[in-house]
Structure 1
């Protein structure tokens, strides 16, 4: 797979990525390396990474508990304290080795420690490879509200090693595939067909195209002033559902991808109601996504709380919930206003 050049950093693939990483570490003359992992990546990914890492620089490992519930300011404070105690300075570099929680949180920790040190992303899940690690967004959650605190900061380099995908269970692979479906629906009909209509598709073959699509959007709109909002397709309702399931004791937590799949079904329904999205495709999208992700139980009593959580979406302005909707696959419109009752109707459509 060929290297993808982002605005200020390269995205390297497979063995070449480790060669480029070694060159970067040598050229930058860092004082020390800090490697951020969670319980899972320490066990499943760290051994392979250390076999392939070529450096004589002093290293320290920072390990946190796995899971979205730890993507918060308390975890950051613990890491800042640990780095301080271990002698990190402004010439240290932080390598994030993990999924979206690790790359989001680690990038935020690095970009704020001593007003900013370099960091390198090595995503180990499909979700983080095609979405979270690319694009310069870092951040943490505020309670159950997703990614409310953060900064735009770019890594020095990204390593995409598909071998890490073999450490994942099928549910995590499905979770990451939701973001690939998002890219297909907004930018590439063939990609949408490949991933939703072919159960035997080799997901690794779709990673490079997915990253390319995101990178093209980010290059044009790095700070999400306009076009980049399209990358939130499915996320307005999806994040509300994800947060609600996260905070509700009676609900089993959803993966990010499972929640975004719900959001894409609902927002496809809204697209047909408010724009020109073909009505016959609404049921196709619903059937295909439920076949991949299964169906979560959402009851009428859940709707008010989900709607309240949607009010905290980062795209909202002046209390208005803003959506990305589709006129058709590959044709989108940003900053769409949707009446509350129609939003609730779309969630009922999913639940029906």
Structure 2
């Protein structure tokens, strides 16, 4: 599989990835290599990775607890302290080996330590392969508010090895599939149709095309001033739903993809009401999503709390919530203002 060239770094696949990383370490002559993992990737992914890495440099493993609940500044401080205590300097390299939490947090940690050290992303979940590891976004949550603290910073390279997907659950595979559906709806309807028809799906091909799409968008709009906003389809309401379930003591957390899937159904419905996105296509989106994800009933008494969380979305300007909506598949409209009543109506539509 050929490599993809992003704005300042390559995305390598399978065996070429490890060869390229070993060459990078020689070329850059790093002083120390830090590998950031959680308990799951340390057990299931680290043994394979370390067997592929060829280097005589000192290697230190830093382990954090898994889960979105640990994607915060407190965890970052722990990692910064560990790097400091282990003798990290400006010539150190941080390798992130894990899912979206590891990738987002690790990139942020590296970008801030001593005003920035090099980092390499090695995503091990479908979600991190098709989304979090590519595009230069790093960051952590502020309480339950998603990705409020962060910055744009590019890795030295991204290494994608689909063999790591054998270590994750079906639920996590479904979580990543939501981002692929998003790329299909907003940018390349062939992807959406492949998932809808479920004929001869090759996960490696879906991953490659998804990364290709994200890279094409980011190359045109690296700082999310215009086109890149389409990658937020389903995320405005989806992030609020994800945050609500994260902070609710009496509800099971939703995965990122499960929440975004709900958001895509709701935002498709809003698109119908505001922009004339055909109801047949709204139902198509809803049917595909409900064929993949278990139904999560949004309780009416929770609508207000979810809407309150919308007010903290990163894309808001002057307190106004901005949605990415659809005129049609592959045809979007940015910065759409949506009345609270219609947002509630969209959640009722999802429930129906």
TM-score for both structures, normalised by structure 1: 0.99
5 Å-filtered alignment, 1:194-205, equals 194-198=194-198, 201-205=201-205
Q: Would you say 1:150 and 2:137 are equivalent positions? A: no
1:272 matched residue in structure 2: 272
Q: State the secondary structure of the residue aligned to 1:298.
A: coil
Q: Would you say 1:250 and 2:238 are equivalent positions? A: no
**1:286-330, CA deviations, whole angstroms, 9 ceiling, x for partnerless residues?**
111011011112110010000000111111100110000011111
The Cα of 1:199 is off from its aligned counterpart by 6.7
2:112 matched residue in structure 1: 112
5 Å-filtered alignment, 1:1-352, equals 1-198=1-198, 201-352=201-352
2: CA distance, partners of 1:162 / 1:203? 8
**1:166-209, CA deviations, whole angstroms, 9 ceiling, x for partnerless residues?**
11110000000000000000011111010133176232220000
2: CA distance, partners of 1:200 / 1:266? 29
Q: State the secondary structure of the residue aligned to 2:251.
A: coil
**1:84-110, CA deviations, whole angstroms, 9 ceiling, x for partnerless residues?**
110000000000000000000000000
Mapped contact 1:181–1:196 kept (Cα < 8 A): no
2: CA distance, partners of 1:9 / 1:62? 24
Mapped contact 1:221–1:228 kept (Cα < 8 A): yes
**How many residues were matched structurally?**
352
Mapped contact 1:197–1:288 kept (Cα < 8 A): no
1: CA distance, partners of 2:249 / 2:216? 40
Q: State the secondary structure of the residue aligned to 1:251.
A: coil
Structure 2 unmatched runs, 5+ = none
1: CA distance, partners of 2:147 / 2:246? 14
C-alpha RMSD of matched pairs (Å) = 0.8
Q: State the secondary structure of the residue aligned to 2:288.
A: helix
Q: State the secondary structure of the residue aligned to 1:138.
A: strand
**1:263-292, CA deviations, whole angstroms, 9 ceiling, x for partnerless residues?**
000000011111121111111211110110
Q: 1:251 to 1:46 in 2, by over 3 A?
A: same
1: CA distance, partners of 2:351 / 2:146? 23
Q: State the secondary structure of the residue aligned to 1:151.
A: strand
2: CA distance, partners of 1:226 / 1:296? 32
Q: State the secondary structure of the residue aligned to 2:201.
A: coil
